[in-house]
Chains A and B, each alone.
Chain A
């Protein structure tokens, strides 16, 4: 199984809502990532988890809150987002020994109204 599953595929939320994005993998990868991708731009790294611990937070606003409850799951909790946060959110995972060879999910397309 080389699949990274992200849910939901699409999400529309208001600026006062709280929602969560979910990501799951069963490849035994101990590194997991969140990326944000705006239209016609490359993905930008947001968070890196290694052994279920946050190792990198690329200066992401606190309205984005990641969580890694176990080695297979990664969540991104969203609260009080702004319209400019509308984007494709991608989850990825990798082996710790090859962190730049990442397996990506199909993404969650988020619209903030």
Chain B
């Protein structure tokens, strides 16, 4: 099984709808990072969560890290076509920044 499991694997929503993506770790995390990838392109850093219970927002995207630091959620409010892409959570096995790895990914399609 994967160390960082994301659900759902893919999501198709109507523009304007809210949605949530989950990332579950089999281990306690040093920190949890969210990235977005447009199809076939590089990744863009979205947010970093380090403390249990932490919540961060940027524009219409909110990310939370649970108290036990083993699960994170990414919530998009009033989705737009520009939100479409692949969302990846990421973490570092060592806490030193030398063993970064990504979750299984969630593909988001937003229908206008």
Q: A and B from one assembly?
A: yes
Q: Which residues of chain A have C-beta atoms less than 8 A from B100's C-beta? A: 33, 45, 99-100, 102
Cross-interface CB contact of A105 among B33, B42, B88, cutoff 8 Å = B42
Cross-interface CB contact of A107 among B31, B41, B90, B97, cutoff 8 Å = B41
Q: Which residues of chain B have C-beta atoms less than 8 A from A103's C-beta? A: 45
Query: A76 interface residue, CB < 8 Å from B?
Result: no
User: Considering only CB atoms, which chain B residue lies closest to A58 in the complex?
Assistant: B99
Q: Which of A34-76 contact B (CB under 8 A)?
A: 40-45, 48, 55-56
**For chains A and B in complex, what number of residue pairs have CB atoms within 8 angstroms?**
61
Q: How large is the interface on A (under 10, 10 to 19, 20 to 34, 35 or more residues)?
A: 20 to 34
State whether A90 and B42 are in contact (beta carbons under 8 Å apart), knowing that A101-B33, A101-B48 are contacts in the complex: yes
Query: A80 interface residue, CB < 8 Å from B?
Result: no
CB distance from B88 to the nearest CB of A (A): 6
Q: Are B98 and A56 in contact, with the CB atoms below 8 A? A: yes
Query: B78 interface residue, CB < 8 Å from A?
Result: no
Q: Which residues of chain A have C-beta atoms less than 8 A from B42's C-beta? A: 4, 90, 92, 104-107
Segment of B11-19, B52-60, B61-69, B101-109 engaged in the interface with chain A: B101-109
Q: Using CB atoms and an 8 Å cutoff, list the residues of chain A in contact with chain B.
A: 4, 31, 33, 40-45, 48, 55-56, 88, 90, 92, 94, 96, 98-107, 109
Q: Which 10 A-B pairs have the closest CB atoms?
A: A99-B97, A104-B42, A42-B102, A104-B43, A106-B42, A56-B98, A106-B41, A42-B105, A105-B42, A100-B92
Chosen A-B contacts, 10 in total, with CB atoms closer than 8 Å, are A4-B42, A42-B102, A90-B42, A92-B42, A98-B97, A101-B45, A101-B48, A105-B42, A107-B41, A109-B40
Q: Using CB atoms and an 8 Å cutoff, list the residues of chain B in contact with chain A.
A: 31, 33, 40-45, 48, 88, 90-92, 96-105
